[in-house]
Amino acid sequence: MSGSLGIKIGTAGFVTAADAASATTGDSGRCAPRLQTTRHQATLIVNQGMAPTLSPLGSGAHPVHPGLVVTGFVDRVGDPIDLVAADGSAHRPENLVADAVRYLTRYSAGAFAGPPTVAATYPGYWKPQGVQALREALDRMDMTDVALVNEVGSILTRVESTRGLPQDGAVVVYDLGGNGLSVSVARGTEQIGSTVRSAEFGGKHIDDAILRQVLRGLDGELGDVDLAAPALLAPLNELRLRCRQAKETLSTETAAVVEVELGSARHDVRLVRSELEDLIRVRILASTEFVGETLRSNDIDAGDVRAVVLAGGAAATPLVAEVLSAEFHVPVIAEPDPGLTSANGAALLAQSVAAAPSVPVPPPPMSAPAPATPPQVTESPRSDDPVAAEPPVVVAPANSPQPPVVVPPTNSVASDAAGGRAMAGSRRRRRVLLAAAAVATLAAAIVGIVAHSAPKTEPQPTVTEQITDPATPAATTTPLPYPTRHVS
């Protein structure tokens, strides 16, 4: 393999991080790989006879390639109901996500000299059936080599490798994405409990607040412009994109200018950071209460929190770190661009998956001869009994704080076939042994009658057997190369 590729699967966008070069080491001794990153909207363009493509970030309402536009499919993964597109066609959401992953692997192929190892994150709040559905969709598309990793684990792995995590106490992962807020709790790189999701606050809410502020500043400029007119739909979408760019600018600058073109109105609106902070302060304060509820649901006291880790593009807003630090009185750890953290972590996890040695499958254990007991017949399972779906296989080092990696499960069809052959062989052996036991018993009775011997108690011939289930492959551990370190 010539490198590793990390892919973030997000409800608002996809991010790739390609590590095609060797890592460099800074003064702190921590790994600082040179990653090439790209961003795409979670908008799939479907054309008949062509492979689906993702709309690049910043394309607005006008995709580069015309075709059927499909959105909102990431949050639908695991839903038994198909997603219906604008043309009435039905699509499985997990297939659309797999199409997006396949497009991104091909899109990023030019950064590598050969095939890279690939790891894709899935949102931490997904249910197991959603993860399994995506795993099966990737397998159907011949992408069995793409590892699925929990986004929370990828975030913690990246931060531990670059900034370090506290060795004791709890860590809060505050992931503020485009469509919502996800909060998780961990100790080191090991997650505690489940991720909690809220759609009440996200990047789109900040964009909406900026858009309303800009329109309020144009009250005297719009005149008779009807903002509900269908002809203004595309210009309004373009304005919303510019408001999002202004939000990103205000993460590092103190002022930004939004260019407005709506009907006959042409105007530039200047927005300063303090105005933005006034618009979203209430929502950020409310999000701290959501964090507190998550801690209580996991039986974690707020005083046990040692740090807050920021992730997600909207978390780059400086007020987010200020409010969280003031509320919990702990350091707030963030990458320069929190929107890249999970993809960068996935690239690191892809390296660990590639470096993990294979573990041989041990042979089935040999059973010792059983004591003499009456013959027993074990009823074989009925073929029409319901069988639970096999969950994703979680691979993690034993007694290790490293995040789990979800890898493709074993081929259930082959396992079922092997199990059927084993059970069939056991039934044939059972019939032969039972017949032998019956013949031996009859012979003993005849000999006793002929010899007129006195009746006496003889141990009955016994038939013992052990039906051994087909051996399951041993779990392959994927140790991560970055130990937990204390934050100075």
Q: What is the pTM of this model?
A: 0.71
Report d(CA 470, CA 8) in Å as an integer: 37
φ/ψ of residue 214, rounded to 5? -65, -45
Whole-number pLDDT of residue 230:
86
Tell me, what DSSP letter sits at residue 180?
-
Helix (H) or strand (E) holding 25: strand 24-25
Q: How many residues would you count in the chain?
A: 488
Positive or negative: CA dihedral 17, 333, 203, 79: positive
Report d(CA 198, CA 284) in Å as an integer: 12
Helix (H) or strand (E) holding 306: strand 305-311
Whole-number pLDDT of residue 1:
56
| Residue 9 CA, distance from chain mean position | 7
Q: How many CB atoms lie within 10 A of CB 355?
A: 14
**Alpha-carbon distances of 444 from 347, 427, 449, rounded to whole Å:** 73, 26, 9
Alpha-helical (H) ranges within 27-176 are: 93-107, 128-140, 151-162
Q: How many CB atoms lie within 10 A of CB 227?
A: 12
**Helices 318-328 and 273-297 meet at what angle, rounded to 10?**
40
Residue type, 194: S
Report d(CA 116, CA 109) in Å as an integer: 8
Report d(CA 112, CA 118) in Å as an integer: 12
Residue type, 402: Q
- Between strands 90-91 and 13-19, the pairing is unpaired
CA 434-435-440 angle, 5° bins: 95
| Radius of gyration of the chain, Cα coordinates, nearest whole angstrom | 30
Residue 73 has, within 13 A of its CA and on its CB side, a CA count of 28
Write the pLDDT tens digit of every residue in 150-183. 999 999 999 999 999 998 999 999 999 999 999 9
Whole-number pLDDT of residue 265:
80
Which structural domains are found in the chain, ordered by start? 1-163+337-356+392-410+473-488 (3.30.420.40), 168-334 (3.30.420.40)
- Between strands 146-150 and 117-122, the pairing is parallel
Whole-number pLDDT of residue 117:
95
Residues 6+ apart with CB under 8 A from 372: 459, 460, 462, 464
- Between strands 117-122 and 90-91, the pairing is unpaired
Residues 6+ apart with CB under 8 A from 1: 114, 115, 116, 117, 354
User: pLDDT below 70 — which residues of the chain?
Assistant: 1, 21-34, 58-65, 354-488
Q: How many CB atoms lie within 10 A of CB 199?
A: 12
Can you point out the beta strands (E) in 35-127?
36-46, 53-56, 68-71, 83-84, 90-91, 117-122
Whole-number pLDDT of residue 199:
94
Can you point out the beta strands (E) in 356-450?
393-395, 405-407
